[in-house]
Amino acid sequence: MKKPSRATQQQFLKAQFSSLGASAVDLTVAALLFRLAGFSPFWSTVVGAICGGVVNCITNYEWTFRGTERTRRGVAIRYVVVWVGSILLNAWGVKLAVALLSSNASVSLTLFMTLRIIVSILVAIFWNFNLQKRWVYRI
């Protein structure tokens, strides 16, 4: 297997930092909605992901994948397509994990957030980075 170029490694690290910032927004919103507003794990995940996604798109456009040939509008349209897939994978992944691991209707904040983090890491690595690099920003 060919080792990724230094530029690809740097982009991957920038994407992870961008993702961490977006995830902080995402998870904070999701936890607050789940704990304080009584949203379900599914809807807490969806709304949190929307908030984090806005942060991620802007950060990636301005910093991670700077130099893209795409216009902001072109990036936004493609980003939304990948983002919708990401939101669905995260929301349904959390919903499935909760159903598999919780035998009662009440889910603790700790379980919800643990599953949310695990699912989001998997989606970030296997879905978000690859599609953003190769299709959304096409660097």
Closest alpha carbon to 42 in 79, 97, 82: 97
For residue 23, how many other CB atoms are within 10 A of its CB? 22
Closest alpha carbon to 35 in 23, 48, 22: 48
Q: What is the pTM (predicted TM-score) of this model?
A: 0.73
Cα(100)–Cα(53) distance, integer angstroms: 27
pLDDT digit of tens for each residue in the chain (139 aa)? 778 788 888 888 898 899 889 989 999 999 999 999 999 988 998 899 899 989 988 898 888 887 667 788 888 899 899 989 998 998 899 989 988 887 766 788 888 889 989 998 899 888 988 898 888 887 6
Q: Where are the domains of the chain?
A: 6-136
| Residue showing tokens 């995830």 | 23
List, in order, residues 6 or more apart from 82 with CB less than 8 Å away: 127, 128, 131, 132, 135, 136
